[in-house]
A and B are shown apart, each in its own frame.
Chain A
Amino acid sequence: MSPTADTALPTSIDDTLARLAALDYVADRQLATGVYLALKLQRPLFLEGEPGTGKTEIARTLAAMLGRPLIRLQCYEGLDLAGAAYEWNYGRQMMEIRLAEGTGMQRDALAAELFSERFLTKRALLQAIDPANAVPPVLLIDELDRADEPFEAFLLEVLADYQITIPELGTVKAPPGRPPIVILTSNRTREIHDAVKRRCLYHWVDFPDAARELDILRRRVPGASDELARQIVAFVQKLRSIELYKLPGIAETIEWTRALMELDAVVLDPEVIQHTLGVLLKYQDDIVRLQGSEAARLLAQVREEARVVAG
């Protein structure tokens, strides 16, 4: 296949699924539909779901799949235009003023010169829509729920029209027909404003079912034995059915598998689970709950179910 065909947009939902899978991202059909539509309709894709379910990963995979650079904007409280879109380089502007004093530059000319593109520091959002980009990048706006509400308002112009208005300079707009691919993620620690969601396609990323989780695990941790992977997936799926403060995501499953392999575990046993719970569960209350007989009980259940299925 020629390199251009490699990085072309997928042609159908099935094609999207297959090409994501080729990069070891096992998506469910609904997510693939969302991705396909986002690419086809050139709309941002808003992904919401529990932490560790592969929301950020999809942006990385898309960038690799389409051969686009990935621009990531990590949100945090107090993130403002200067951190997200652009900032004037005050130091250089100051220098320019000093130099202008020497040459006796006109006031108007100086004002125009000071706020020209030369003195602009581009941050993630502006980089993503920069008309100078050779290929439109993938823009990942990660954990939007961590930013405060005023920041969401900054995003509206970018999400709707792929443009940013800089008062001193004018409007910067992505080249027509070639906007960046925008992925927004949220862990839903708060509700994102409807105005943002309205401009996006929405998908709730759920925990994978056992078959898909096993598939993901085999691709991501190829060294794990079949038996171990099966047990791990069954155990984690079991964990998600009991009431925990924070359920383990697929990221935790992968981490745990790696940890178990480091410990040379061949099968799960209560003791090794006990020692590695901290990889899987991130709240003390949850860990306390599983300590002692509970983990052993769950494991026994998992084994029993496996025996029923096999026998």
Chain B
Amino acid sequence: MLFGQSSPGRLAENVMHFARVLRSAGMPVGSDRVMTALAALQVAGLESKRDFHAVLAACLVDRAEHRALFDQAFVLFWRDPDLMGRMRALLLPKVNVKDGATPPPENRRLGEALFPHQPNKPPDEPEQDQIEINAELTWNDREVLRQADFDTMSADEWREAQRLLRALNLVFEPLPTRRSRRATRPGRPDWRATLAAMARHGGELGDLRWRAPRQQPAPLVVLADISGSMSRYSRMLLHFAHALGHADAKVESFVFGTRLTRTTRLLKSRDPDLAVGQVVRAVADWSGGTRITTSLHEFNQRWARRVLSGRSTVLLISDGLEHGDTTALAHEMDRLHKCCRRLVWLNPLLRFEQFEPRAAGIKAMLPFVDRFLPAHNLNSLADLVAVLARRDDDARSGRPPH
């Protein structure tokens, strides 16, 4: 038995406290869910710890990836209902060393949620140069800036470039959906509206009402290489992805160096500097080496079926300099290509006039790419926006999703 029969009030209190812990560990547990859990505990779950766990899980979890977090929090929290005592014990680390059992691998986030008063390690130093811009650039400077390579910009230019980026008018390729909207031009007849009108007019057939297919911007998936050679470009492209994310289309973003990290949620923050800063902090292998094949493999294996629909456009940002098995790379590219509507490869190496795809990695990837574009300055990004916005039926003939 977890709780004394004599103190039913304690249970509600504890469940609420537990929910608060989950919430601060990043699980969205609303108070309505807590109410459900309490109602559920009235009918089941107090016979054994396992049932108690099952009941709380059914009511408080709503996402597969939160299960591990929930389980850990459950073990930690309900192992010892006297949480306050535990917290006090943790604040006095010296006294309790002999408490032998090795703790379970605790999530850091969870640790911070359970013991928020522990001194946290200081936040990472912001890496960006903190130079204030006090003068607007003149039009002429702007023209120069549009041509400037991201790699060689000064801090001022960099900031201004970000500002210009935000001003880009972001429109995505409009695709027809299977839903319809009212239309004024003849198309599909809208029988419901027509008959409603007829009923209003005593059965006289006036004009037929019409419907037309509704359009929706194509969803976009950004895969950005953040390895050493790419970091400057990727940073700007993350700003670009951030701007894209605030347009009205669905945008998913991932970054990869030696491994793949999903950054969609991190880029949701409104302030672009904050958002990109968060990504940089969250990703361990920023500016390290790159393993394109394994990263693409991980994306295909774990994410493609969840974030790609047959309508998606994929923006792959990488220099394609993979040293390794290029047949595997070609295989992964083929699969990626098959799972999306358009695969656009942005390669900053294209800025060199005499660029030829000689590297084995690039040669392996190119056959599976629908569009191959440069991405090294603002002009090329503006071109990219134009490509994204255009209805692009000839990228390849229509194909069903896999």
- Tier of interface size on chain B: 35 or more
Main secondary structure of the interface of B (DSSP, over half): helix
Do the beta carbons of A33 and B54 come within 8 Å of each other? yes
Contact mask A193-225 → B, CB, 8 Å, 1/0? 010011011111000000000000000000000
Do the beta carbons of B203 and A41 come within 8 Å of each other? no
> Known contacts A100-B203, A110-B202, A114-B199; is A13 also within 8 Å of B28 by CB?
no
Does A162 sit within 8 A of B, measured CB to CB?
no
Stretch of A126-134, A183-191, A234-242, A263-271 on the interface side: A183-191
Do the beta carbons of B54 and A78 come within 8 Å of each other? no
Do the beta carbons of B306 and A190 come within 8 Å of each other? yes
Known: A107-B202, A198-B62. 6 other contacts (CB 8 A): A13-B44, A37-B58, A97-B199, A191-B63, A202-B61, A204-B61
Does B305 sit within 8 A of A, measured CB to CB?
yes
> Known contacts A88-B195, A111-B200, A245-B301; is A198 also within 8 Å of B51 by CB?
no
- Interface CB pairs A-B, < 8 A, 9: A36-B43, A40-B40, A40-B44, A41-B39, A77-B178, A78-B177, A97-B198, A115-B199, A285-B335
Do the beta carbons of B301 and A41 come within 8 Å of each other? no
Closest 3 CB pairs of A and B: A78-B178, A33-B54, A111-B199
Contact mask B142-157 → A, CB, 8 Å, 1/0? 0000000000000000
Do the beta carbons of A168 and B306 come within 8 Å of each other? no
Does B32 sit within 8 A of A, measured CB to CB?
yes
Do the beta carbons of A33 and B203 come within 8 Å of each other? no
Does A12 sit within 8 A of B, measured CB to CB?
yes
CA distance A29 to B55 in the complex (A): 10
Do the beta carbons of B51 and A13 come within 8 Å of each other? yes
CA distance A33 to B60 in the complex (A): 13
Does B369 sit within 8 A of A, measured CB to CB?
no
CB distance from A79 to the nearest CB of B (A): 8
Residues of A within 8 A of B191 (CB): 88, 90
> Known contacts A90-B191, A194-B62, A198-B33; is A37 also within 8 Å of B178 by CB?
no
Residues of B within 8 A of A46 (CB): 62
Does A48 sit within 8 A of B, measured CB to CB?
yes
Does B183 sit within 8 A of A, measured CB to CB?
no
Residues of B within 8 A of A6 (CB): none
Closest to B33 in A: A198
CA distance A291 to B55 in the complex (A): 44
Does B196 sit within 8 A of A, measured CB to CB?
yes
Does A43 sit within 8 A of B, measured CB to CB?
yes
Residues of B within 8 A of A243 (CB): 301
Does A22 sit within 8 A of B, measured CB to CB?
no
Residues of B within 8 A of A37 (CB): 40, 43-44, 55, 58-59
Residues of A within 8 A of B203 (CB): 97-98, 100-101, 110
Most chain B C-beta atoms within 10 Å of own C-beta, residue among A93, A150, A188: A93
Closest to B203 in A: A97
Closest to B402 in A: A283
CA distance A98 to B178 in the complex (A): 33
B160-207 with Cβ < 8 A to chain A: 177-179, 191-192, 195-196, 198-203
Do the beta carbons of A189 and B305 come within 8 Å of each other? yes
Do the beta carbons of B61 and A12 come within 8 Å of each other? no
B44 CB contact (under 8 Å) in A33, A48, A197, A203: A33
Report which B residues bind A (CB closer than 8 A): 28, 30, 32-33, 36, 39-40, 43-45, 47, 50-51, 54-55, 57-59, 61-64, 67, 177-179, 191-192, 195-196, 198-203, 300-301, 305-307, 309, 335
Do the beta carbons of B50 and A41 come within 8 Å of each other? no
CB distance from A196 to the nearest CB of B (A): 9
Residues of A within 8 A of B40 (CB): 37, 40-41, 201
CB distance from A204 to the nearest CB of B (A): 5
Residues of B within 8 A of A23 (CB): none
A78 CB contact (under 8 Å) in B39, B179, B200: B179
A35-55 with Cβ < 8 A to chain B: 36-37, 40-41, 43, 46, 48
CB distance from B316 to the nearest CB of A (A): 20
Most chain B C-beta atoms within 10 Å of own C-beta, residue among A100, A114, A243: A114
Do the beta carbons of A148 and B195 come within 8 Å of each other? no
A201 CB contact (under 8 Å) in B28, B59, B64, B202: B59
CA distance A78 to B178 in the complex (A): 5
Contact mask A223-255 → B, CB, 8 Å, 1/0? 000000000000000000001010000000000
Do the beta carbons of A30 and B57 come within 8 Å of each other? yes
CB distance from B97 to the nearest CB of A (A): 37
CA distance A34 to B30 in the complex (A): 19
CA distance A287 to B115 in the complex (A): 49
Do the beta carbons of B43 and A40 come within 8 Å of each other? yes
Do the beta carbons of A190 and B307 come within 8 Å of each other? yes
CA distance A271 to B191 in the complex (A): 60
Does A80 sit within 8 A of B, measured CB to CB?
yes
Residues of A within 8 A of B55 (CB): 33, 37
CB distance from A77 to the nearest CB of B (A): 6
Do the beta carbons of A168 and B196 come within 8 Å of each other? yes
Residues of B within 8 A of A245 (CB): 300-301
Do the beta carbons of A202 and B179 come within 8 Å of each other? no
CB distance from A76 to the nearest CB of B (A): 9
Closest to A107 in B: B202
Do the beta carbons of A204 and B179 come within 8 Å of each other? no
CB distance from A89 to the nearest CB of B (A): 10
